[in-house]
Copies of this chain bind each other. A is one copy, B any other.
Amino acid sequence: MGKVITNRDENYSQWYNDIVKKAQLADNSAVRGCMVIKPYGFGIWEKIQAQLDKRFKETGHVNAYFPLFIPKSFLSKEAEHVEGFAKECAVVTHHRLMNDPNGKGVVVDPSAKLEEELIVRPTSETIIWNTYRDWISSYRDLPLLVNQWANVVRWEMRTRLFLRTTEFLWQEGHTAHTTSQEAVEEARRMLDVYAEFAEEFMAMPVIRGVKTANERFAGAVDTYTIEALMQDGKALQSGTSHFLGQNFAKAFDVKFSDENNKQQLVWATSWGVSTRLMGGLIMTHSDDNGLVIPPKLAPMQVVIVPIPKPGEEIDAVANDIMEKLKAKGISVKYDQDKKKRPGFKFAEYEMKGVPVRIGIGKRDLEKGIVEIARRDTFEKNSVAIEDVDSYIEKLLVDIQNNLFERAKAYRDDHITEVDDFDTFKEVLESKGGFISAHWDGTTETELKIRELTKASIRCIPLDNPLEDGKCVLTGNPSTQRVLFAKAY
């Protein structure tokens, strides 16, 4: 197995596609813009799901399931929502096929036209708030803290595996509250859940912030976001949490009677992360040898390779190590394939990003040692057989931390404070990353900067210090810096 992927330096975008395919994460499908998530990629997604689901439940949420289809008229009920979502979407117009009268396969039966077209959900606020009308009547029914794991469809013109696909998998939380304050707290709490998950499990440092009016979710009062930085200096919006005010309650007439028996409109949030996280994972850690996965999300944390091939003695040691690792909750595979040579296997598991590799050779066995290699730094060490399990237990923690620190150092090094527009453009082109600059607060300026540089305002960081300054483009007064970047 020789060098099979493009170098990052050469063509970052091609490198990304090569990793997705060669590491067996996903593939394009016969349907334009829709992907097939392959077992190895899905194994990582299952780990992401399990962790997030656990955290949602710990914060009081329950799962439910709402219909895939949304009546067309629902999308028009919330004025801004329709602008954002009732555009590029999959429209179901008929409910039957029939044999082609000309004998060629099947055709749409014109008599089976739907009275009202159905939209394949691009997001579920409308159908869910239409349902909440029946679920909520009193303050005793609130808060309602519901999440759903689902597929959604947005008819994207340009698609990229995981990052932007026509169909993608996600979770969408939809909560209902008695007060504005409680809803804002919920939206912030879930942003924190996302941020902690991204940092602790994905080892992907993120900046928590709020979106500008222009970048807000269609129908939201405020959109909170976590923004990560990819290795090519572009930002990735990795999760969003929206305070929806009473917009959907108004649109779908959802009221509750309060403790004084007065009718009040319900306050709402929604929040979601998607298979896009897989793209973030890849572009935060991987290298020119392939995928790198943080141990906490690796479907296979350790692989044992016999050198040069399996045999009674090596098998015995491998089985012993496997047993001990499994007892510690560490997932491990012993590759007994006799048809592939060790070098080929090494490259294959590097490509797949398996965090730790144990090589067991006959000569080493005589000395009572095995060779342990870590994927993140390629460092190798000889370890006494009886110490392997405790060594690896610590090593996995070390790799997880190292990946985070490495990504954080890169990210921190790529936040540049800039105070004039020439430097802004220069830094963006030469170094990339986030540019921290003053902005006059108008959508006009924001769009102008985007037009001139392709950089958008990723967020106004939540922990932003106030500071007097002048807008980097217009020179108008500003009270705080915001983060600009080119983005996926």
Contact surface of A with B, Cβ cutoff 8 Å:
27, 29-31, 34-39, 42-43, 45-46, 62-76, 82, 86-98, 105-106, 108, 117-120, 127, 130-131, 134, 140, 146, 150-151, 153, 155, 167, 169, 339
Contact = CB atoms under 8 A, between A and B. Distances in A.
A96 B87 contact: yes
Contacts of A38: 64
Contacts of A39: 62-64, 146
A89 B95 contact: yes
Contacts of A62: 39, 42-43
A153 to B, nearest CB: 7
15 contacts: A27-B131, A30-B71, A31-B70, A35-B67, A36-B64, A37-B64, A39-B62, A39-B63, A72-B105, A73-B105, A75-B97, A87-B98, A88-B95, A91-B95, A93-B108
B91 A92 contact: yes
Nearest to A115: B32
A37 to B, nearest CB: 4
Contacts of A88: 95-96
A339 B141 CA distance: 13
Contacts of A45: 65
A106 B64 contact: no
Contacts of A91: 92-97, 108
B95 A92 contact: no
B89 A29 contact: no
A65 B37 contact: yes
A70 to B, nearest CB: 7
A76 B153 CA distance: 25
A42 B70 contact: no
Contacts of A73: 105
A35 B67 CA distance: 6
A365 to B, nearest CB: 29
A456 to B, nearest CB: 24
- A-B residue pairs, 7 tightest by C-beta: A76-B105, A34-B67, A39-B62, A37-B65, A91-B94, A95-B155, A93-B93
Contact of A68 (B70, B94, B120, B339): B120
Contact of A66 (B29, B86, B131, B146): B29
A127 to B, nearest CB: 7
Contacts of A87: 96-98
Contacts of A68: 34, 120, 151, 153, 167
A130 B97 contact: no
A145 B38 CA distance: 12
Contacts of A42: 62-65
Contacts of A89: 95-97
Contacts of A98: 87
Contacts of A63: 39, 42-43, 46
Contact of A72 (B36, B75, B106, B169): B106
Given A36-B131, A38-B64, A167-B68, A74 B108 contact: no
Contact of A30 (B92, B130, B167): B130
Contacts of A75: 97, 105-106
A42 B148 CA distance: 10
B95 A119 contact: no
Contacts of A92: 90-93, 120
